[in-house]
Amino acid sequence: MLYASWSLAIVPLDTTKRNKVIVLDPKLIHLEEIGSIPAQAKEASGLEITGSGLMWTHNDGGVPVLFGLDREGKLVRTVHINVRNRGWEDLAQDDQGNFYIGSFGNNTNRRKDLRIFKIMNPDSVKTNIIGAEIIAFTYEDQKEFPPPRNEQNFDMDAFIYLNGDLLLFSKNRTAPFTGMTKVYKLSTEPGTQVATLYDAIFLGGIEPPAMNYWITGADISPDKKTIALLGHHRLWLVRNFEGKKFSEGTVYEIDLGHFSHKAGICFSDNTTLYIVDEVEMEIVGGKLYKLDLAPALKVVE
C-alpha cells in the first residue's frame, strides 16, 4: 500500500466530529499541463464541463462572463450573465444541467451580500446573454461581521451539488488555525435562505502557513463516489461517505508537486480531473491541467 502517513483530527469549537487524513504517495499521480487559458480569463476561478465538451470558467471579479474553453484551453464561446460579478469563486452543476455561480468570496469575513446565481446550462442557450435567478443567504452561525480571528471561517471558494442540495466548503482563515473546513448546506431554490452548518472536515495542517490547507475549488465525480477538494498544491479526496456525513467517510490527501493559485476543478469522468489556476504577477499561472486519478483510486479501493 502506498500510504505515506495519517494524522488524527483535532476537534475545534465548531464541530464534534473527528476524522483522520490519509496521505497518499504523490508518485501515484502526475499533474499534466495541457494548455494556457485566454488572457480574458486570467483570474479563472471555477470550472465546469458541459455535454458539448466545453469547459466553463469565469473571473472572480470584473465583467460577469462565463468563458467556454476547449480541452486545450482555447476560447470558444463567451456568455454574459445579467448580474454583478463580485467574488465569483466557483461553479456547480445539478443533475438537470443548471449552473450555479458562487458569489461568496469573503476574505475579511465581513460580507453580508452573499449570493449564488442559478442559470440555464450555457449549452442550451443560443444567445450570448443569460438571466440569473438569485439565492441570497447568510450563515446560521455567523453573528459578527467580522467575527473574532479565531472564528473567521466564513470565506468560501468552493461548492458542489449533491442530492438536491448545494454544499459549500469554507476557506479557513482562523488564527490560531484549526485545520477545519466547514460545510454548509443550501437548497437550489431561488430566494432568501439561511445556510445550515452541515459538517466540518479536518484536513490536517495545524502548523503554518494556513494557506497550504485552504480549499480553493471543489467538484464531485459523476458516480457521486469521490469529492475532490482543491488547494494551492494539494488535493483532498473524500470517499466512502454514502449515507453519512463527509467527516464520517475517508479523507485522502495527495501533493500535486506544483504550487500556484489553483482555483477551479472539475471531473470529466470518474477518474479524470481538469484544473485551472489564476495568473499571479503576470508570470505564474493561467494554465489548464489534467490529472488522472485512476492509479490513486485503485490503491484506495
Q: Quick one: what percent of the chain has pLDDT higher than 90? A: 89
Q: What is the pLDDT of residues 78-93, one digit of tens each?
A: 999 999 999 999 999 9
* Residue 110 lies in domain: 3-300
Q: What is the pLDDT of residues 50-77, one digit of tens each?
A: 999 999 999 999 999 999 999 999 999 9
The residues near 209 (Cβ < 8 Å, ≥ 6 apart) are none
Number of structural domains found in the chain: 1
Of 1-10, 110-119, 177-186, the one with minimum mean pLDDT is 1-10
Report pLDDT for 22: 96
Dihedral sign, Cα of residue 140, residue 187, residue 91, residue 205: positive
Average pLDDT over residues 215-238: 98
Alpha carbons 12 and 172: distance in angstroms, whole number: 12
Stated pTM of the model: 0.94
**CATH number reported for the structural domain that contains residue 59 in this entry:** 2.120.10
Instruction: Quote the DSSP letter at residue 25.
Output: P
Strand, coil or helix: 40: helix
Report pLDDT for 116: 99
Q: By C-alpha distance, which of 213, 243, 101 is closest to 158?
A: 101
Q: What is the pLDDT of residues 113-154, one digit of tens each?
A: 999 999 999 999 999 999 999 999 999 999 999 999 999 999
Quick one: cell of 52?
A: 458539448
pLDDT at 262 over 90: yes
Quick one: cell of 119?
A: 442559470
pLDDT at 15 over 90: no
Average pLDDT over residues 248-272: 97
Alpha carbons 58 and 83: distance in angstroms, whole number: 13
Q: By C-alpha distance, which of 166, 270, 266 is closest to 223?
A: 270
Report pLDDT for 12: 40
pLDDT at 3 over 60: no
Report pLDDT for 17: 61
Could you check whether the bond before residue 64 is cis, i.e. omega within 30 degrees of 0? no
Alpha carbons 30 and 25: distance in angstroms, whole number: 11
Q: What is the mean pLDDT of the chain?
A: 93
Residue type at 1?
M
pLDDT at 234 over 70: yes
Residue 19's pLDDT band (cuts 50, 70, 90): confident
Q: Quick one: what percent of the chain has pLDDT higher than 70? A: 94
